[in-house]
Amino acid sequence: MSQTVASRDVARWPLRKLGDLVTDAQGGFASGERSECGVAQLRMNNVTDRGTFDWSTIVRVPANPETASAFSLQPGDVLFNNTNSTALVGKSAFFEGYSERITYSNHFTRLRTNRSLLLPEFLSYWLQLQWKRRLFENICNQWIGQSAVQRDKLLSLEISLPPLGEQRQIADELRAKLGHIEKARVAAARQLEAARALPIALLRGVFDSPEARRWPRRKLGVLSARISKGESPGWQGFEYVQEGARFIRSENVLWGMFQSEPEVRIPLDFHAKLSRSSVFASDVLVNLVGASIGRSCKAPVGLGDANVNQAVAVITTTPELSADYLVLYLISPPAQRYFLEVQVEMARPNISLENLRDMEVPAPPIDEQDRIADELKRNSGKAALLRCAIQQGCEEIELLSASILSEAF
């Protein structure tokens, strides 16, 4: 009968330095060139934080036969990510083979064990545990934007070493258990992706529906009492101040939600000069510039004196158009398609106030707009709760893998 985890006498496993247990600790080679006919080379993004390889983005680099041979991987090698960001340095993976020769960059160290003492699968799982425990984050050398675990520090680490038979048993148990967890993680990730797509699907179901095509369409300029935008304080010689009017920028306007941070303010006299773009509760804010074109939200209650910069439009609707309904339409797929069609490619993509005024908005009766907005917000709220629950499940799955590794060692 095999030993259970609880019955293992881990305390009696001798401590051995990793350097005494490996026959090879070889760094990879750098190459900034690409070649369609070159050898496949693993980069930092090809090793996941789950101790596996991601083969979807393999690059090819030029290499002579001697280099390709010296820096190729063999089944049973353990690849240690010696250089990365501080949070990711130390990722590792067990190489079981591939359909062609695989080399690796200088961001990795190839570890080959003395298999009469240390099984590579056992080492791979032990390194994963140390990464999850943030050991490599604590021992790495840090520079701006990059951290590295030096070879001597890696090889000086001490590992508790059970007999080979027990190493094999532990590795087999971990492979089976972590395999089940990986299946659960993939399923949860798919669920999370579907949950994140649900709000857009709800909007598409309303505004791309046959019913929506029958609604009368009117230009936003006709349905609005005001469509305006502000200016950059730099153009007017003003600087941000501690006390003054709130100055809303594109970072504050998210998909259907106002974000308080970052909070900046402008002098009240500058705010007074920009009365055309003053913001009041229930006004609709729309981003005009950059990758976030069309991102929209309603100005929150209790904002106080507020204005917008040149990258944000402010819309005051007439009684014929619900502000809540307008926000939901602006972030819907049909409206986003319109913004994509009319945007102008300059230093940064942008749309104009005329583009907003000319935009045709489906305009059912106001009571129908209110009903649609209430229903969409209610269903979006349920979708958000579902997304949070799935996200929590994903986090628990990640914690479970760390727990299983910790228990095994």
What's the pLDDT score for residue 130? 96
In whole angstroms, what is the distance from residue 254 CA to residue 287 CA?
9
| Own/partner pairs, 136-141, CB within 8 angstroms, 24+ separation | 136/89, 136/90, 137/86, 137/87, 137/89, 137/90, 140/86, 140/89, 140/90
Return the bridge partners of 80, or none: 92, 109
Phi and psi of 200, rounded to 5°? Answer: -65, -40
Cis upstream peptide for 319 (omega within 30°): no
The segment with the largest mean pLDDT, out of 191-195, 220-224, 394-398, 402-406, is: 220-224
Alpha-carbon distances of 201 from 332, 372, 387, rounded to whole Å? 9, 14, 14
What's the pLDDT score for residue 360? 96
Q: What is the pLDDT of residues 156-180, one digit of tens each?
A: 999 999 999 999 999 999 999 999 9
Residue 101 has pLDDT above 70, yes or no: yes
- Can you give the three-state secondary structure of 196-252, one letter per residue? HHHHHHHHHHHHCCHHHHHCCEEEHHHHEEEEEECCCCCCCCCCCECCCEEEECHHH
In 239-248, which positions are buried (b, 16+ CB within 10 angstroms) versus exposed (e)?
eeeeebbbbb
Q: Does this model's pTM top 0.75?
A: no
In whole angstroms, what is the distance from residue 326 CA to residue 329 CA?
5
**Closest Cα partner for 110 from 22, 20, 27, 50?**
27
What's the pLDDT score for residue 398? 82
Site of tokens 């929506």:
212
**Predicted confidence band of residue 103 (pLDDT cuts 50, 70, 90):** very high
Residue 279 has pLDDT above 80, yes or no: yes
Determine the topology of domain 216-363 in CATH.
Answer: Adenine-n6-DNA-methyltransferase TaqI; Chain A, domain 2 (3.90.220)
Q: What is the pLDDT of residues 10-39, one digit of tens each?
A: 778 999 999 999 999 999 999 989 998 999
What's the pLDDT score for residue 1? 35
Amino acid at 176: A
Comparing 60-64, 219-223, 240-244, the range with the smallest average pLDDT is 240-244
Determine the topology of domain 12-161 in CATH.
Answer: Adenine-n6-DNA-methyltransferase TaqI; Chain A, domain 2 (3.90.220)
What's the pLDDT score for residue 235? 59
Q: What is the pLDDT of residues 297-346, one digit of tens each?
A: 999 988 899 999 999 999 999 999 999 999 999 999 999 999 999 998 87
In whole angstroms, what is the distance from residue 38 CA to residue 208 CA?
48
Count of Cβ atoms closer than 10 Å to residue 386 Cβ:
16
Residue 2 has pLDDT above 70, yes or no: no
What's the pLDDT score for residue 328? 94
Residue 185 has pLDDT above 70, yes or no: yes
**Predicted confidence band of residue 270 (pLDDT cuts 50, 70, 90):** confident
In whole angstroms, what is the distance from residue 339 CA to residue 139 CA?
49
CB under 8 Å to 124, separation ≥6 — which residues?
51, 78, 92, 93, 94
Q: What is the pLDDT of residues 113-122, one digit of tens each?
A: 999 999 999 9
